[in-house]
Chain A
Amino acid sequence: MILDTDDEILQDFLVEAGELLEGLNEQLVELEQNPDDRELLNAVFRGFHTVKGGAGFLNLHNLVTVCHRAEDVFNLLRQGQRQVDGVLMDAVLQVLDVVTRMFDEIRAGQEPAPADPALLTVLEGLARPDAGGGGGAAQDAPVAGSAVQATPAAVEDAAAPSVAAPAPTQLPGGDAGQGPEAGGEEITDAEFEALLDAIEAERAEPPTQPKAAELIELTPAGGPAVAPQRPIASAPEAGHGNSTAKAASAARPAALMETSVRVDTKRLDDIMNLVGELVLVRNRLATLRSSMNDEEAGKAIGNLDAVTSDLQAAVMKTRMQPIKKVFGRFPRLVRDLARSIGKEVALELRGEETDLDKNLVEALADPLVHLVRNAVDHGIETPEERERVGKIRAGRVVLAAEQEGDHILLTISDDGKGMDPDVLRRKAVEKGLMDQDAAARMTDQNVLNLIFMAGFSTKTEISDVSGRGVGMDVVKTKISQLNGTVDIDSVKGQGSTLRIKVPLTLAIMPTLMVVLGGQRFALPLANVSEIFDLDLSETHHLDDQEVVMVRNQTLPLYHLSQWLMGSEAVSAERGTQHVVVVLVSGRRVGFVVDRLIGQEEVVIKPLGAYLHGLPGFAGATITGDGGIALILDVPSLLRAYARRH
């Protein structure tokens, strides 16, 4: 059967089930840590159950079958008739992979192919109550596919259930009194009853005058006029003095429930574009205001300015997604990777709720995957190695996100072996990237940044884990495309920390406006580190490169108008010039510009097809005075021009 991928119902299913699948990924890894968590087991059960339900609606039989089997397994688990063990986890994670594969097939318009019968057989075995704890299951259920080798971690997993076994037996009794709703949200049965009482009282016949009077009479002393209906309704709840108050507050979440709508991101993009246009008009008006002497108009423009800024912030918020969307995949990724290479790794996620632009969330996914894989594969040592140097067996990788002003800071740190600057220096020389002297002159920090250069890989054998050839330079390029920066800190023997800074949004960018030969250009403010005036007669030439000494550091100097305006007569005017120092890849370089205008928020417009792909430009924008400015892409600019010298 060919599926109609344009079908709204099918898309609806894919969206919802896709979210459930993401959730399952997280929940399952969490489950490995807390195998007895009832709420978690219930949630996983419901996840498979709901995907199955939707698949059933769409007659996707193969998807129904595999979800159904997984659901059966979790039904036993949540009833405490079976324990989570390594074999079970492997099988269930395989289910997730199969379901993901089926989703891809559905998206491609194909009827999903059936799951491996061996996996279904394993699940069937797991869906039988196990009498004697985890041991029995391990014997009668061979792992299908056997993709995962027995590693130290796996052995430990298998052993875990026998240790954990006594705990769950106490659980059912403990939970029983609270009922199924106890776990979810903080509202007790009594509070819920009180809430219902309040609703019933409110919804009762519109209170006519005599009725209200009756109610007041029935109310014991104390503010009868304020809440004539509730006290009676909650009378049975005498034990809970403030139950009505709580009920009223509990009513709020219930009322909130249907307040969200699903909106096509295309629409949000359109809105964002329009707001961008508005920002341009606002900028234009703000520029005009300075040349006008109309106080009234000036005020109005001031208001427009404020409202536009608020609108811009509000619209940006609608496009925000928690970084959790990306982080969510890491527990599983780290788990699988660690198991397959025989390492023990604990992953810690921080700041998962940090919001950033949806496009950024998506764009950051690949670089982060690469960096986290790197941390596990190259950073963390094997358990034996760690023990030898006196560390605990399990390595630690921390993935954190936080908002810093208009930027998001992402850090990936590990407590692994770190990097040795001298090894990096030697590599750089071996690969012919620089000579011995140049390498020796570099600071340790600059040496570390060498890893972001193309073709620089310190790992001699290429592992199939962290990619082939595509290395940190690709990550770097990706982050640069997002107007972000990435840098590294590493201490040999103690671990490494990578820091990624990206702007909150991609659509609107703070820039520094400069003039080159009468033409305006916008430099992304993220790249600008300082501005100073320089007497050009103070420059020197080093290795054929014009440089200037700034605080005892040599700073390469480039004349942008030479690159961009084609002017040859650079040396003609010697005198004081403006130099903008930009920071790229941990390198500082100076750009000589003709004139500085100031900071301006610009809306990035893509260059048309005619100019698309021109190196050095990120796009164009309309400036406050109505002119057009090209937005510079500093890394690509340097790549395209700086080497020619």
Chain B
Amino acid sequence: MTVRVLVVDDSGFFRRRVVAILDADPGIEVVGQAANGREAVVEALKLKPDVITMDIEMPVMDGITAVRHIMARRPVPVLMFSSLTHEGAQATLDALDAGAADFLPKRFEDIAGDREEALRVLRRRVRTLGLRHARGGAVGTPVSARTPRGPVPSRAATAPGTAPATAPAHGVRMPRAPAFRLQDFRIVLIGTSTGGPVALQKVLTALPVNFPLPLLLVQHMPASFTPAFAQRLDGLCAIRVKEAADGDGLEPGLALLAPGGRQTVLESRAGKIRVHIVDGDPDQHYRPCVDVSFQSVAPVFGRQVLAIIMTGMGADGRDGVRLLKDKGAQVWTQDEASCVVFGMPAAVAEAGLSDRVLPVDEIGTLLARGVGHA
């Protein structure tokens, strides 16, 4: 099936480029264009696209306001085109808050050094978001049960919240969830990508100020975005959140966010556990990379690790989780229904590495409940 896309940008030049890039993919059909936010909302309602690509800065109505309107009326995955600036980060995070599913840098060079690769990434993102939506998957913040098109495939039919540990239907070996006690752990690791900013916000805002463990967050994000994201989470959460800096120590109730563009690892030297920010392997696709960070934690904390993999495209985190799992760590993954993209959690779950599969809201509440029992 083809993914139907609405392209929104006030620049005709940019619209035509995006349309040409997307139309070159047989799996994608551009069904409409809009030159400002207001047109975008109108066209979204009229055309019922599977995905919308959205510019932020537009006359009449900006992209963020448009996302808000669209999410309120007819939720659909929105892919924002962002500037990789501090302002761009704020605006993008606002857009994600408003319900946008994902973002890509507006300068394709920032997506990937190679132009062709950048275009492939763009097409893949649009396809993934669109197919998921067309199948009735979750969209952005207002997780809607509405299914606009056709009968719902059974595996996506489970409404969030009805069963905390929904068994995936496609032959994944579902282990019995081991007992969960916070005091068994010395750190919580969370790895996430597409849809992660909102998911992280949901989980972290659920945690009380006296949360007893340090957290390390690895979210795929450009370097210019992570400071703004950390700052925003810090403002929203009871616990403290900061962008990790080289030499940082771990503290209870402090979440360190791996900075973009580099790798964040834990090291234990002379009894002191410190965060190190390193350039890492230049071949490594993701910066920060969930695998790199998680693998570095294994020798430091062994089995006393709770590793959580949430929404995201691809399979980053699976290898890191495997190493942790070998040491006896516990692994949670987000369920398909509440994921914007069920890629990374699926990779972990399908490898049989997940101890619990949870909707995003449950992850937060379960962690918070652990505090009470501690």
Chain A residues within 8 Å of B, Cβ to Cβ = 9, 12-13, 16-17, 42-43, 45-46, 49-50, 53-54, 56-57, 59, 64, 75, 179-181, 184-185, 187, 192, 195-196, 199-200, 203, 251, 254, 257-258
Contact = CB atoms under 8 A, between A and B. Distances in A.
Contacts of A13: 13
A199 B13 contact: no
B48 A56 contact: no
26 contacts: A9-B17, A12-B16, A17-B13, A42-B59, A46-B10, A50-B14, A50-B57, A53-B11, A53-B107, A54-B13, A57-B14, A180-B62, A180-B65, A181-B38, A181-B60, A181-B62, A184-B60, A187-B38, A195-B42, A196-B73, A200-B73, A200-B74, A203-B45, A254-B39, A257-B34, A258-B33
A236 to B, nearest CB: 12
Contact of B11 (A50, A179, A181, A257): A50
Contact of A56 (B36, B58, B73, B107): B107
B45 A200 contact: yes
B12 A16 contact: yes
A56 B69 contact: no
A195 B42 CA distance: 8
Interface string B9-41: 011111011000000000000000111111101
B176 interface: no
B109 interface: yes
Contacts of A251: 42
Contacts, number: 83
A73 B248 CA distance: 35
Given A17-B13, A50-B10, A192-B38, A57 B59 contact: no
Interface in B138-180: none
B108 interface: yes
B61 interface: yes
A185 B35 CA distance: 14
Closest 3 CB pairs of A and B: A184-B60, A56-B107, A181-B61
A16 B35 CA distance: 13
Contact of B42 (A42, A184, A196): A196
A251 B108 CA distance: 35
Given A75-B87, A196-B73, 8 more contacts: A16-B11, A42-B59, A50-B13, A53-B107, A56-B109, A196-B69, A200-B45, A200-B74
B46 interface: yes
A573 B12 CA distance: 69
B14 A54 contact: yes
B106 interface: yes
A21 B54 CA distance: 24
Contacts of B48: 203
Nearest to A50: B11
Contacts of B106: 53, 56
A199 B57 contact: no
Contacts of A59: 109
Contacts of B58: 46
B13, B39, B60: most-surrounded residue (chain A CB, <10 A): B13
A196 B11 contact: no
Chain B interface residue number, banded: 35 or more
Nearest to B42: A254
A181 B37 contact: yes
Contacts of B12: 12, 16
Contacts of B39: 254, 257
Contacts of A64: 107
Interface of B: 10-14, 16-17, 33-39, 41-42, 45-46, 48, 57-62, 65, 69, 73-74, 83, 87, 106-109
A196 B10 contact: no
B65 A181 contact: yes
- Consensus secondary structure, chain A interface: helix
Contacts of B83: 49
Contacts of A9: 17
A57 B61 contact: no
A257 B35 contact: yes
A71 to B, nearest CB: 9
A53 B10 CA distance: 11
Contacts of B35: 257
A8 B61 CA distance: 30
Q: Which of B16, B34, B108 has the most CB of A within 10 A?
A: B16
A53 B38 contact: no
A180 B42 contact: no
Contacts of B13: 12-13, 16-17, 50, 54, 57
Nearest to A197: B73
Contacts of A42: 59
Highest count of chain B CB atoms <10 Å: which of A16, A53, A56: A53
A206 B62 CA distance: 32
A57 B60 contact: no
Nearest to B20: A9
Contacts of A184: 36, 59-61
Contact of A49 (B42, B57, B65): B57
Contacts of A57: 13-14, 17, 107-108
A187 B14 CA distance: 27
Nearest to B66: A181
Contacts of B59: 42-43, 46, 184
A46 B57 contact: yes
A339 B17 CA distance: 42
Contacts of B69: 196
A73 to B, nearest CB: 12
A63 to B, nearest CB: 12
A75 B91 CA distance: 12
A181 B109 CA distance: 31
Contacts of A180: 61-62, 65
A485 B60 CA distance: 43
Contacts of A187: 38
B206 to A, nearest CB: 30
Nearest to A262: B12
Given A17-B13, A59-B109, A181-B65, A254 B38 contact: yes
B38 A199 contact: no
A54 B62 CA distance: 19
Contact of A179 (B33, B65, B107, B108): B65
A195 B108 CA distance: 35
A13 B11 CA distance: 10
Contact of B14 (A46, A53, A75, A257): A53
A196 B34 contact: no
B50 to A, nearest CB: 16
A17 B34 CA distance: 18
B371 to A, nearest CB: 38
A187 B48 CA distance: 23
Contacts of A49: 57, 83
Nearest to B32: A258
A180 B38 CA distance: 11
A59 B12 CA distance: 18
Contacts of A53: 11, 14, 106-107
A350 to B, nearest CB: 26
A45 B65 contact: no
A75 B85 CA distance: 12
Contacts of B11: 16, 50, 53-54
A135 to B, nearest CB: 26
B341 to A, nearest CB: 26
B76 to A, nearest CB: 13
A45 B57 contact: yes
A104 B11 CA distance: 21
A232 to B, nearest CB: 15
